[in-house]
A = this chain, B = another copy of it.
Amino acid sequence: MLTSVDPDVIRALSDPLRLRIVNLLARETLCTTHLVEETGARQTNLSNHMKVLREAGIVETEPCGRYTYYRLRPEVLAGLSEQFAALAASARGVGENKRACP
């Protein structure tokens, strides 16, 4: 396996609310106000989550007046997809390749 799955990205996606946000952003670009409406979470809480997603490189921001729009970075998700595909392929090739009992 050349590049393993990035732990930081996975960690950022491990929160249910953040995963919901990613799913929402996969349909349309939204600002914090929209996300507050959609998720029912507080603004402060949401802002914290967006910071995590931003620092993990999953999301990028686009300021628009006094609004901040968030959009997904598809390359990151595509990278995850490839890394898991590589893991799955490697796992399929394991077969009866088990290390002997010590």
User: Which A residues fall within an 8 A CB radius of B?
Assistant: 1, 4-5, 7, 10-11, 13-14, 16, 19, 22-23, 25-31, 33-34, 37, 64-65, 67, 69, 71-75, 77-78, 80-82, 84-85, 87-92, 94, 96-99, 101-102
Contacts and interface: CB of A to CB of B under 8 A. Distances in A.
B23 A4 contact: yes
Q: Which of the listed residues A25, A26, A82 has the most CB atoms from chain B within 10 Å of its own CB?
A: A26
Instruction: Please state the number of chain copies in the assembly.
Output: 2
A101 B19 contact: no
Nearest to A17: B7
A19 to B, nearest CB: 5
A26 B64 CA distance: 45
